[in-house]
Chain A
């Protein structure tokens, strides 16, 4: 009977429990809000007054930051977050968020293109910083993978475009942006596929693969097929309701994906034994890496 790798005391990876729904909310709302600010900047040349969308983007980012503020252990020391710009992407996220709120407020008050574009760029910067926060977490194999950051960025901008085209119900001039949503959804689908294939190739905790397998079909259909189909059809046919539905699907699917990424798929590294020590028989034995999709130890 093969007995390699049965964990008796937490040698296997386990689901992280330090970041809960509050942290996930920061990634969900921050990403969508940052993406919306970027998408709004892109739509600003239309001449439509989209300042209410900027307010919505700022509110989403603010809600995310509020959620994470409620999660940290010492909220009264929160300003210490600015102390490590040299290496910490969490510090950089906080700095970009500060710039984002300043630029966003200026855009709302002054309605100047420069402020709107600066807010949009800050939104992209915020989404990128969030991706890099995850990328630098060596303790979570699903996050430290190089394509995870790309996937987080792709999801954020797709959600932002989704929110923008949902506003086509109010401003039909936004309907053609259904094409933008479709293009972004295609890009995210490519990244999602490559990310999962690569995870299988390099090996990750089995629980991570299971969590992603469980959402793959609905994520692909709701988060990609629907936005691509309805986004293009709505844009070409001039149906605001179609692009709005496409946007809603993209937003809901993106949020659900990030909730899974931060929670269910976030298994820790666990431990590995490259070699079992020479005991008893006097000979060393084979190692073990319990709980991994590729069981070879290191």
Chain B
């Protein structure tokens, strides 16, 4: 059975520090205003039982990705290992996928943007004109995952082949791994805790699981 990569986020541990957001920006050189990963902040409940929850979100790499279904160009594809990818050379930037995504995960940036108005040397060095005017989103750091096939390492276990956000998490709230491998950390954690996926009722089969309580 081929691997199917998922992310498990323990909401009991997340402190909303946005380190994963910063790590993602650093690893993927996303410009100002574009966040492939972010942490939402939500208050809920009723006094005195009021809660504040931090919800890290990104592309959910859905099992049934609505973005791929509506894409008129086939630029958006789902790989066998579950990663949803975009071919920047094929995408026409029609934004159909943005409308189809219930997770607000995609962005189209039409003009280059720089942190301080004018480009700094490091920004110029990493700017990719191929990502302008096309849809972009979290890739689950697919370059790292693809490297695992060469190095023999295991995504989710070895940091070199694990998404940058997972590596960066200061509270150990994020795990990554193969849900088809019964020995993987993500499977063990999901078996030991109660979890949900966001907007499961829409039938998208998101690959990010959120833990909210013990079993």
Query: How far does the alpha carbon of A244 sit from the alpha carbon of B154 in the complex, in Å?
Result: 71
- Contact assessment for A81 and B94 in the assembled complex, using a CB-CB cutoff below 8 Å: yes
Asked if A11 and B42 sit within 8 Å, CB to CB, the answer is yes
Chain B residues near A1 (CB-CB < 8 A): 46-47
Q: Does A172 contact B (CB under 8 A)?
A: no
Q: Contact: B73 with A273, CB < 8 Å?
A: no
Chain B residue nearest to A81 (CB atoms) is B72
Q: Are A74 and B134 in contact, with the CB atoms below 8 A?
A: yes
Complexed CA–CA distance, A2 and B194 (Å): 27
A8: B residues at CB distance < 8 A: 40-43
How many A-B Cβ pairs are below 8 Å?
203
The size of the chain B interface, using a CB distance under 8 A, is: 60
Query: Which A residues are CB-close (under 8 A) to B42?
Result: 5, 7-9, 11, 271, 273, 288, 290
- With an 8 A cutoff between CB atoms, is B100 at the interface? yes
State the Cβ distance, A279 to closest chain B Cβ, in Å.
Answer: 5
Instruction: Determine the main DSSP class of B at the interface with A.
Output: mixed
B73 — which chain A residues lie within 8 A by C-beta? 77, 80-81, 83-84
Taking a contact as CB atoms under 8 Å apart, the answer to whether B70 and A87 are in contact is yes
Judging by beta carbons under 8 Å apart, are B44 and A19 in contact?
A: no
A271 in contact with B40 (CB, 8 Å) = yes
B167-200 residues with Cβ-Cβ distance < 8 A to A are 194, 196, 198-200
Is B162 an interface residue when CB atoms closer than 8 A count as contact? no
Where the two chains meet, the residues of B that have a C-beta atom closer than 8 Å to any C-beta of A are 10-12, 38-47, 49-51, 53, 55, 57, 66, 68-75, 90-96, 98-104, 108, 110, 132-134, 194, 196, 198-202, 204, 210-214
Contact B99 A277 (CB under 8 A): no
Number of interface residues of A (CB under 8 A): 64
From B51, B66, B72, B212, A83 is in contact (CB under 8 Å) with B72
Whether B72 contacts A90 by the Cβ 8 Å rule is: yes
> Pick the contact of A273 from B53, B104, B211 — CB < 8 Å?
B53
Complex Cα–Cα for A173 and B18 (A): 69
* Residues of chain A lying within 8 A (CB to CB) of residue B201: 298
Across the two chains, which residue of chain B brings its CB closest to A280? B51
